[in-house]
Chain A
Amino acid sequence: MVVEQATRESMAALVGPEHVETARDADAVDGVRPAFVVEPANAAEVAAVVAHADHHGLAIAPRGGGTRMTWGNIPARLDLIVSMRRLDQLLEHADGDMTATVQAGITLQDLNDRLAERGQFLPLDVPRADLATIGGLIAVNDSGPLRLRYGGIRDLLIGATIVRADGAIAKGGGKVVKNVAGYDLPKLMIGALGTLGVIVEATFRLYPLPATNQSLAWESGTPEVAGAFILAVLDSTLVPTGLTLRWSTSAGSTLLLRLTGIEPSVLAQRDQALALAQAHKLGEPWRLDASDWSGLHAELLSHECALVARCSVLPSEIPALIRMLEDVAEQESLEVSAVIQAHGLGLVRATPKGTGDVAASLRAACMELRKRLAARGGTLIILAAPLAVKQRLDVWGPAPDALPVMQQIKARFDPNGSLNPGRFLGEHA
């Protein structure tokens, strides 16, 4: 308690007493409750807080909107949550250069609302955009259907400023789209779960908002039919901004296709897509609207559920993935649903039907899926699961042969292990 009091006083001196709060239950990460939540106002305050914590052996978890705090393994230690809530500014929208520089704590929704005023957007469509912050999204590397056309965060992020564990403020990349000066440090932060530094600022390349869009959906019959249609679209001259397969054990599968751009192009592409669908005997299509897309993933993530995982497969393996999901659903008596993008990334949700050893059946399902995916070059990462599952299973799966390099990077960026200890790849207790 003496240490806690001293920490509180030190933190209060750095960010002001009104920005240091005693942590509540809701601040716990996988049941590990920190002592404080600290809300610095700017990069310099973040640096001071992180340096102080690092020096005193305190474990830090950076936090944006807190929408994806279950991602990663159970923390080995956690003393301090550094909330980025107050770093919420759009610093520059250079619309003529199609770039924007933001503080890490701005929400995706807020950013895109502002960019839309000048006809541009950051093409990231992920659930809970109203809460999810840019820094958090970089750290977890989330993406949605738009990735098919615009790429992921690694294709959009062109510069970043981070606070290192020792409090040094360092930047990589820049504010121009084309730039190969020095190592690409921003890329290193993508998907790193805040283990190498706290992201405080980011610069993105932007795209013009499309003039019109049209979306179609079809009942898609067997996974093989759906898979063949997906490959046919990828092999065509269509340029969809979304091609998604929604599937569940109870409701079968639906294909969704989104076309955007200037109207004549969207209409011409729609006719081509309809012809392609007919050739694949997909049946009568129906029209979708924008909310059908934004609701896609939210549906999977928002419900109180047992397990959510991210799968990655080759596009040609999408039917095989569905068949695997069917098999484990049957074997382990699970209700399973999935949203799979044409580029091979999918979100899977599994809920036990029965009441037996729920954790055991979810673990068995994950292990079986991992084994079968690995044989086809695929991976499965657990994003949320009951503690009893996470305690016994590394959420990241088997480590790649490059793990020693990753551990060396971690050791050189964060030698005291202050940033999100225990949560990353290869750190499962």
Chain B
Amino acid sequence: MIERHIIPELRRIVGDVGLLTAPEQLRTYESDGLTSYRVVPGVVVLPASTEQVQGIVRVCHRERVPFVARGSGTGLSGGALPHAKGVLISLARMNKILSVDLPNQRIVVEPGVINAHVTQRVATQNYYYAPDPSSQSVCSIGGNVAENSGGAHCLKYGFTVNHVLGLTVVMPDGEIVHLGGATLDQPGYDLPGVFVGSEGTLGVATEITLRLIRKPEAVQMIMAAFHSTDHAGGAVSEIIAAGMLPAAIEMMDHLSIQAVEQATHAGYPTSAGAALLVELDGPTAEVDALIDRAEEICERNGAWQVRRAATADERLLMWKGRKAAFAAMGRISPDYYVQDGVIPRTALPRVLRRIDELAEMHGMRVANVFHAGDGNLHPLVLYDGDVPGAAERAEEVASEILTACVDAGGSITGEHGVGEDKKKHMPKMFNEADLDTMNRLRCAFDPNLLSNPGKVFPTPRLCGERPGPRREHPLVAAGVAEIF
């Protein structure tokens, strides 16, 4: 339960319309897209402006009450999991596009703006916003900033961080600062670079300057059916080795194809062991020549069917199938647990075999959907939550998959973030010195650890006083705590 006396003060800041305290209202915020973690927040506020966010955060800072910022709640790592004694700040009402500057390819938005709405706003003028997570029709830019969201097209176009130029941020003490700006290489440290992807632990972004991209002259896409993921993986390697940089290369295995086809009827070859989507964009002469080569490469690697999208609609249907893959799992399994490991592309066959072994060993089914171009796997461990112990077994398989990814030289998360769910896996990638260095950054922004506390780091850490030369932390001096 939250300290009741701050409620009237929060009400004065956001008004009745921006304050939720009834238990049934609070419960709708108890989890994000990863529903296995649930915490009912102390109170929910829905500010409408940077100043209101500042007011809320100042109260939190003064009272040492933790706060968690939340966009659309589509995250898959429990990053927006509320704090039981804290304030949940929903940015959903801050959903205005503030300005568009097409000649300079910039757009300034509030954090609650939906990802797809950015593109919709400039589409008729032939521009778009590149990062396209599968949840783009509902996820918010603020959430994308927190998670450094990717999507299918980041192989060529990069992630959210590559498209954020500047941010207005309410710091955890309530100060408003501007990180970066509309022009490149502002003097000082690259604070947009570290803020993006900090999972809500460094403050609350209230205005975001994004880069827009000119639509390419041509886009072409093929879908190729293979007997196995090994064959499809061979084609991916050869496409890359040929010096092509496709806009996207996506792979689905047999189980995923089944689920997706049942759900979307996108025309996926249901008897295939693996399907590959390859999209190329750029100047027409380049795309026309390279799509032919990609087709040849697929055929040479054993593709028994290659279909080229003849129209934009057909291409969108192919994408619809891929983007609906997670949701489609409901067709073949009551529940699933999705992972987000990354491996060097060349380790794909080895790691996929390891996933098969793990699935067999634990008697589980694992469907694989992945961004094959950049090695980002999304293994979906299928289980039935009504079977006692099944959820735990699924999580165990998923955990071992992550170990296999890290062992192959990869990462525990490519785009979903660490959040609550994967913080225990951080030591697989980072040692104490690495984590301590990250914590120093955290403490520079948030010495009282109020902004989304308890996420990302595997163990709670101290910040200590504002550092001066050689001052020992009082708890360390007293022998109560150790320096990490």
0/1 string, A71-105, CB within 8 A of B gives 1:
00000000000000000000000111111000000
B437 near A175 with CB under 8 A, answer no
B186 near A237 with CB under 8 A, answer no
Give bound CA distance, A397 to B184, whole Å.
Answer: 15
Q: Which of A27-35, A179-187, A218-226, A279-287 contacts B (4 or more CB under 8 A)?
A: A179-187
Which residues on the A side are within 8 Å of B187 (C-beta)? 379, 381, 396-397, 399-400, 425
B370: min CB distance to chain A, Å: 11
Which residues on the B side are within 8 Å of A402 (C-beta)? 177-179, 188, 191
Grouping DSSP codes into helix (H, G, I), strand (E, B) and loop, the B interface class, with mixed when no group exceeds half, is: loop
A425 near B104 with CB under 8 A, answer no
B434 near A182 with CB under 8 A, answer yes
Query: Is residue B259 contacting chain A, with contact meaning CB distance below 8 A?
Result: no
Q: Which of A257-265, A332-340, A353-361 contacts B (4 or more CB under 8 A)?
A: A257-265
Which residues on the A side are within 8 Å of B253 (C-beta)? none
Q: A264-B285, A265-B282, A405-B445 are in contact. Are A171 and B346 (CB under 8 A)?
A: no
Which residues on the A side are within 8 Å of B445 (C-beta)? 405, 408
- Nearest CB to that of A151 among chain B residues? B162
A403 near B188 with CB under 8 A, answer yes
A239 near B282 with CB under 8 A, answer yes
Query: Is residue B150 contacting chain A, with contact meaning CB distance below 8 A?
Result: yes
Query: Is residue A18 contacting chain B, with contact meaning CB distance below 8 A?
Result: no
Query: Is residue A58 contacting chain B, with contact meaning CB distance below 8 A?
Result: no
Q: Most chain-B CB neighbours within 10 Å: which of A237, A400, A405, A424?
A: A405
A412 near B443 with CB under 8 A, answer yes
Q: A97-B344, A172-B438, A174-B429 are in contact. Are A409 and B285 (CB under 8 A)?
A: no
Q: Which of B44-52, B260-268, B303-311, B412-420 contacts A (4 or more CB under 8 A)?
A: B412-420
- Nearest CB to that of B415 among chain A residues? A180
Which residues on the A side are within 8 Å of B454 (C-beta)? none
Query: Is residue A10 contacting chain B, with contact meaning CB distance below 8 A?
Result: no
Q: A180-B147, A416-B469 are in contact. Are A155 and B411 (CB under 8 A)?
A: no
Q: A178-B376, A184-B197, A190-B193 are in contact. Are A345 and B184 (CB under 8 A)?
A: yes
B469 near A237 with CB under 8 A, answer no
Which residues on the B side are within 8 Å of A393 (C-beta)? none
Q: Most chain-A CB neighbours within 10 Å: which of B171, B241, B245, B343?
A: B241
Query: Is residue B442 contacting chain A, with contact meaning CB distance below 8 A?
Result: yes
Which residues on the A side are within 8 Å of B185 (C-beta)? 141, 152, 191, 310, 312, 345, 379
B283 near A314 with CB under 8 A, answer no
Query: Is residue A216 contacting chain B, with contact meaning CB distance below 8 A?
Result: no
Which residues on the B side are within 8 Å of A425 (C-beta)? 187-188
Query: Is residue B78 contacting chain A, with contact meaning CB distance below 8 A?
Result: no
B243 near A211 with CB under 8 A, answer yes
B184 near A185 with CB under 8 A, answer no
Please report which residues of chain B, range 185-215, place their CB below 8 angstroms from some CB of chain A when the two chains form the complex: 185-191, 193-194, 196-198, 214-215
Which residues on the B side are within 8 Å of A164 (C-beta)? 433, 437
Q: Which of B22-30, B153-161, B271-279 contacts A (4 or more CB under 8 A)?
A: B153-161
0/1 string, B369-384, CB within 8 A of A gives 1:
0010011100000000
- Nearest CB to that of B435 among chain A residues? A182
Please report which residues of chain B, range 377-417, place their CB below 8 angstroms from some CB of chain A when the two chains form the complex: 409-417
Give bound CA distance, A329 to B188, whole Å.
Answer: 28
Query: Is residue B421 contacting chain A, with contact meaning CB distance below 8 A?
Result: no
Which residues on the A side are within 8 Å of B283 (C-beta)? 237-239, 261, 265, 268-269
B438 near A415 with CB under 8 A, answer no
Interface size band for A: 35 or more
A396 near B344 with CB under 8 A, answer no
Give bound CA distance, A217 to B438, whole Å.
Answer: 47
A183 near B344 with CB under 8 A, answer no
B415 near A178 with CB under 8 A, answer yes
Give bound CA distance, A41 to B90, whole Å.
Answer: 51
Residue in A94, A178, A182, A237 whose beta carbon sits within 8 Å of that of B414 in the complex = A178
Query: Is residue A367 contacting chain B, with contact meaning CB distance below 8 A?
Result: no
Query: Is residue A315 contacting chain B, with contact meaning CB distance below 8 A?
Result: yes
Q: A178-B414, A187-B194, A314-B182 are in contact. Are A409 and B441 (CB under 8 A)?
A: yes
B102: min CB distance to chain A, Å: 8
B184 near A344 with CB under 8 A, answer yes
Query: Is residue B240 contacting chain A, with contact meaning CB distance below 8 A?
Result: yes
A136: min CB distance to chain B, Å: 16
Which residues on the B side are within 8 Å of A388 (C-beta)? none
B433 near A179 with CB under 8 A, answer no
Give bound CA distance, A154 to B290, whole Å.
Answer: 29
Give bound CA distance, A161 to B181, whole Å.
Answer: 27
Residue in A96, A174, A231, A315 whose beta carbon sits within 8 Å of that of B411 in the complex = A174
Query: Is residue B467 contacting chain A, with contact meaning CB distance below 8 A?
Result: yes
Residue in A99, A182, A196, A413 whose beta carbon sits within 8 Å of that of B344 in the complex = A99
Query: Is residue B474 contacting chain A, with contact meaning CB distance below 8 A?
Result: no
Give bound CA distance, A323 to B351, whole Å.
Answer: 58
A201: min CB distance to chain B, Å: 13
Residue in B178, B189, B194, B286 whose beta carbon sits within 8 Å of that of A401 in the complex = B178
Which residues on the B side are within 8 Å of A171 (C-beta)? 430, 434
A151 near B415 with CB under 8 A, answer no
Query: Is residue A305 contacting chain B, with contact meaning CB distance below 8 A?
Result: no
Give bound CA distance, A404 to B466, whole Å.
Answer: 12
A316 near B103 with CB under 8 A, answer yes
Q: Most chain-A CB neighbours within 10 Å: which of B101, B214, B215?
A: B214
Residue in A179, A185, A238 whose beta carbon sits within 8 Å of that of B413 in the complex = A179
- Nearest CB to that of B293 among chain A residues? A262
Which residues on the B side are within 8 Å of A180 (C-beta)? 147-148, 150, 159, 197, 411, 413-418
Give bound CA distance, A400 to B418, whole Å.
Answer: 31
B377: min CB distance to chain A, Å: 10
B236: min CB distance to chain A, Å: 10
Q: A265-B286, A316-B104, A415-B467 are in contact. Are A185 and B438 (CB under 8 A)?
A: yes
A61: min CB distance to chain B, Å: 18
Give bound CA distance, A95 to B242, whole Å.
Answer: 11
- Nearest CB to that of A267 among chain B residues? B285
A333: min CB distance to chain B, Å: 28
Give bound CA distance, A403 to B176, whole Å.
Answer: 12
B214 near A379 with CB under 8 A, answer no
Query: Is residue B479 contacting chain A, with contact meaning CB distance below 8 A?
Result: no
Residue in B159, B189, B414, B467 whose beta carbon sits within 8 Å of that of A411 in the complex = B467
Q: A180-B197, A184-B161 are in contact. Are A96 and B240 (CB under 8 A)?
A: yes
A46: min CB distance to chain B, Å: 14
Query: Is residue B289 contacting chain A, with contact meaning CB distance below 8 A?
Result: yes
Which residues on the B side are within 8 Å of A276 (C-beta)? none
Query: Is residue B5 contacting chain A, with contact meaning CB distance below 8 A?
Result: no
A97 near B289 with CB under 8 A, answer no
Give bound CA distance, A119 to B193, whole Å.
Answer: 30
Q: Most chain-B CB neighbours within 10 Å: which of A94, A187, A344?
A: A187
A379 near B183 with CB under 8 A, answer yes
Residue in B240, B343, B436, B466 whose beta carbon sits within 8 Å of that of A98 in the complex = B240
Give bound CA distance, A399 to B102, whole Å.
Answer: 28
Give bound CA distance, A53 to B436, whole Å.
Answer: 21
A188 near B441 with CB under 8 A, answer yes
Give bound CA distance, A385 to B263, whole Å.
Answer: 66
B193 near A187 with CB under 8 A, answer yes
Query: Is residue A169 contacting chain B, with contact meaning CB distance below 8 A?
Result: yes
Q: Most chain-A CB neighbours within 10 Å: which of B155, B178, B345, B422?
A: B345
Q: List 6 A-B residue pairs with CB atoms under 8 Å apart, sorted by A's residue number.
A: A94-B346, A178-B154, A184-B148, A345-B184, A400-B178, A417-B469
Excluding A97-B375, A261-B283, A379-B185, 11 further A-B contacts by CB distance (< 8 Å) are A168-B437, A170-B437, A177-B375, A178-B342, A188-B193, A191-B190, A209-B243, A262-B290, A268-B285, A379-B187, A402-B191
Q: Top 4 closest A-B pairs, CB basis? A: A187-B193, A265-B286, A237-B217, A208-B243
B interface residues, Cβ below 8 angstroms from A: 101-106, 147-148, 150, 154-155, 158-159, 161-162, 171, 175-179, 181-191, 193-194, 196-198, 214-217, 237, 240-241, 243-245, 282-286, 289-290, 342-346, 371, 374-376, 409-418, 422, 426, 429-430, 433-438, 440-445, 456, 466-471
